């Protein structure tokens, strides 16, 4: 699977570890974040760069991962883009529900409030949980797209 990834300075170490783990899993990872931690970087810019790459990709299975201190900032920024369904996730139940019920295509992780090991587990659950495709879920996503 193709995965775009971006992180601000707070998520820089998470990003590096996730790139390694995702690569081991055979995923194609495209880093849209900084190549070094920059204390004054801005998560809106990194988020925009990452989700715009995802939206431009013709692969319907491509996804993105965004990381900042709380996960909230990147999630709010990502959801400003039509076609993005970003989910702030910190545990396995949220990861599974984000995919199963809401067909989330962007995973947002909080670097301050979870461990890197837990972030790896959450990411794996998010990547492997399929969208259930229930009629009510599809209806709600259509409503979301029409807002």
Which residues have CB under 8 Å from 141's CB, separation 6+? 85, 102, 103
Q: Which residues pair with 28 in a beta bridge?
A: 2
Element (H, E) at 88: strand 86-88
Q: Which residues are catalytic?
A: 68
CA dihedral 87, 109, 123, 39 (to 10 degrees): 140
């Amino acid at each position: 699977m193709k995965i775009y990834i971006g992180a601000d300075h707070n998520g820089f170490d998470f990003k590096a570890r996730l790139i390694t783990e995702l690569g081991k899993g055979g995923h194609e990872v495209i880093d849209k974040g900084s190549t070094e931690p920059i204390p004054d970087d801005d998560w809106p810019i990194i988020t925009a760069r990452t989700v715009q790459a995802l939206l431009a990709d013709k692969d319907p299975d491509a996804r993105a991962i965004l990381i900042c201190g709380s996960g909230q900032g990147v999630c709010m920024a990502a959801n400003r883009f039509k076609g993005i369904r970003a989910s702030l996730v910190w545990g396995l139940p949220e990861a599974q529900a984000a995919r199963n019920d809401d067909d989330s295509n962007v995973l947002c992780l909080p670097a301050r409030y979870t461990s890197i090991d837990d972030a790896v587990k959450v990411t794996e659950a998010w990547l492997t949980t399929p969208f259930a495709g229930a009629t009510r879920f599809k209806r709600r996503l259509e409503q979301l797209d029409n807002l």
